[in-house]
Amino acid sequence: MHFPPLLATTWLPLAQSFEGHHDWDGGWWILMGAGMLIFWGLVIAGGVWLARELSARRTERPNTPSALEVLDHRFADGTISVEEYDERRRAILGAHRERRDTDG
Contact between 92 and 67 under an 8 Å Cβ cutoff? The reply is yes
Distance CA 81, CA 89 (A): 12
Q: Where are the domains of the chain?
A: 31-60, 67-103
For the stretch 21-45, pLDDT in tens is 555 566 778 888 899 999 999 999 9
Cβ-based neighbour number of residue 86 at 10 Å:
12
DSSP states along 3-24: --HHHHHHTHHHHHHHSS----
pLDDT bin (cut points 50, 70, 90) of residue 85 is very high
Distance CA 56, CA 27 (A): 44
